[in-house]
Each structure stands twice: as structure tokens, then as C-alpha cells.
Structure 1
Amino acid sequence: MCAFKQAYRRDVGRVARIGIVVMFGAVAGLRAGQAAAQSAAMLDEHVTQQSIAGTICRPDYADAVSPPFDVMMEYKQRLLAERGIAADDGTDYALDRRVPVLLGGSPDAPANLDLLPWAGTGGERRKARFVVHLKRCVCEGKLSLSDAQAAIVGNWSAAYAGFGRDSCDVSGVNVATSSHDSEP
């Protein structure tokens, strides 16, 4: 009887561990699905890997598809008010596109618009530099559009820190955890 109880306890523990692993896997799958759905709402459906030569790699593309400046400033003012940020402090923030137009982001989808401080390691100035670098990599065929979008939607400041000036390789940067997959 004692051996039976031990075997039973061992099996219960094993089943519990398997259940926990399955539960974490299901939650991770749901979150990945939510991220993909959110990303789709941020993207311009006209920009695909096949269309980049006629869209984002065209020099006048961003100007051609972006809404007028005053429309975007009205949206920025609404976001500032929603977040309780005084209008006088608004100059400290940029109206950010989570997926920039230069990487196939929607120019005016509310899901793609947010506020981002101008300065700092996670600021708009640094993000803009990273976007231009990613766009160059995409347009030169050294990086896929989807990889560039994943780098910018994830923890882009970690990706920026791990991205070489002369390299277009983002494979060693884990944008979800802000770490490098392999140590140097």
C-alpha cells in the first residue's frame, strides 16, 4: 500500500507539472495571437515585402501617405489630454507611430499612434535613427520587412543597442527580453 501511495503521489505531481506547462503554453499562445492582431491593426495593408520598391523604398513615400501636420497635431493634443499631460509639456513628447510609415506602419490608424518622449534611450530621436537604418536594410534586401517590423514593435531600444551600424542582422537580439541570444 505504501508503494502504491508513492506511485500515486509521483503521478499526481507529474500531471500537475504537465498541466502547468500546458497552461503557460496556452497563455503564451494567446498573447502571441493578441500581439499579431494588434500589429495587423498598426500596419498599412498596401505595404508588403513584394511592394516595398513602390512604397517604403520610394523617396517621397512617407510624405505622400501621411495625413496633414495639423491633423496629426490634433491627435497628439487628444492623447496628451487623455494622459493628463499639460499642453505646455507637450513639446517634450512626439506623436509616435508604433510601426513607422517607413516600415509599413499605418499613417493614421489609432492603434498605431502613441506618445513617446523625445529624449532618452527610449526616445523618439533614437527610434527615428533606428527606423532609418532598418528601412535601409529592408530596401537593400538585407532584412525582411517583417523582421524590421518585429524589431521596431518589440523592445526596439534593446534591438537598437544590439544592432551594428554596418550590419542588418537582428537575429542575435531578443526584442522580447532585451537581451542578446548569445554572449559576445
Structure 2
Amino acid sequence: MRIHNRAVAAAATVAIALAFSGVAVGATPGTALASTCSQSYLPLPDPHCTPGSYNPDVTQSTINSTICVSGWTATVRPPTSYTNPLKAQGIIDYGYADTNMSDYEEDHLVPLELGGAPRDPGNLWPEPHYGTQTAYTKDGVETKLKNAVCSGKITLSAARNAIRTNWTTALQATGIG
């Protein structure tokens, strides 16, 4: 339900932004729910709000034509015009006191590098750039896991399960770190 609320609220945010810009919009904006996601899991997202999801086009049998191709993630990465409204709503949903958008990355829990669903709100969350383990730290984990998958050291499934469960221990869980 919370994922649906984020998607509806994000759509409403886009509709409001378009309305203020003078673009005609047919949707009626909804009311965002404040602090519906817990920060207690940080540096991980609240699993009830951000369970993670996969791109069905990326499987073990397609990795050589998808994630293992240099530049492939750029072909599926959603534009900021899509992710910024989700980020704004996520900052509200997570109840972050700091509401500066630039202090967060709208991150894919299951990264695009491992075939995470690009546009599923259940795979996106506002990950802080501050703290001891940040969005920047997670980026390094994602790259190491992708390289291990593409070199055949681990399976796509093992990498996805590890990062979805707990990205801070994913390297150790897969034997990479």
C-alpha cells in the first residue's frame, strides 16, 4: 500500500508542477502521507516502502546483452523528470528533517547494474549522501557485484539477493568482499 501511495503522490506532485507551469492536467492531486516510512533501517531503506524489484528483461541468460554491456544502464535509466518527484515524495515519506533534494540520491535498491526495475517506485528511495555508509558507498558495492556477475564469479540471482537483503553486507555474503 505504501508503494502505491508513493506512486500516486509522485504522480500528484508531477501534476501540481505541471499545473504551476501552465500545462493543462486532467488528474486531481492527492494528499501525500507524511512519515510513512521508517528511518530506523538506515543506511538501508524501509523494506515495507522499498522492497526492491527486478527488470524482467535482465536474466542470467541475457546479462551479456544487458548489464555486462558498457553503457547499457544509460539506456534504461529514468530521467530526473521522473525520479525527482519520487525523491521529493520519498523525503516526506521517510520524514527526513533535511529536505534539501541535493542531499539525497533517488537510488535503486536493486541497482540498474544488476537489472533492477528502472521505474518501479518500490525499487527507488531517497538515499542520503550523509552518514557513514551512503549512496556513494553503495555505488562501489554495486560495481563490484556487477563485475563479479559479468566475470562469472557469482550468479545474477546471488548478487541481487545479497544487495536486496542488505547492501552493506552484500560483498561478504557473496564471497566477493
Q: TM-score, normalised by structure 1?
A: 0.62
Q: Percent identity?
A: 33
Question: Which of the residues 125, 132, 143 maps onto 2:136?
Answer: 125
Q: How large is the Cα RMSD of the aligned pairs?
A: 2.4
1:30-69 equivalence runs, <5 A: 42-69=53-80
The structure with the largest alpha-carbon Rg is 1
C-alpha separation between the residues in 1 aligned to 2:79 and 2:167? 27
Q: Could you tell me which amino acid in structure 1 is paired with residue 164 of structure 2?
A: V
Is the helix fraction higher in 1 or 2? Answer: 1
Question: Which of the residues 115, 120, 140 maps onto 1:109?
Answer: 120
Q: 2:55 touches 2:118 (CA, 8 Å); kept in 1? A: yes
- Give 2:108's aligned residue: 97
- Give 1:169's aligned residue: 175
| Structure 1 position 63, deviation (Å) | 0.6
Residues 48 and 86 of structure 1: CA distance in aligned 2, closer, same or farther (over 3 Å): same
SS in 2 for 1:133: helix
C-alpha separation between the residues in 2 aligned to 1:87 and 1:159? 28
2:81 aligned with 1:70, yes or no?
Answer: yes
| Structure 1 position 113, deviation (Å) | 0.9
1:155-166 equivalence runs, <5 A: 155-160=166-171, 162=172
C-alpha separation between the residues in 1 aligned to 2:162 and 2:131? 19
Deviations 1:82-116 (A, max 9, x none): 33436743322211111001101000101111121
Deviations 1:2-52 (A, max 9, x none): xxxxxxxxxxxxxxxxxxxxxxxxxxxxxxxxx9xx86x610001000000
Deviates more, 1:65-74 or 1:46-55: 65-74
C-alpha separation between the residues in 2 aligned to 1:155 and 1:53? 26
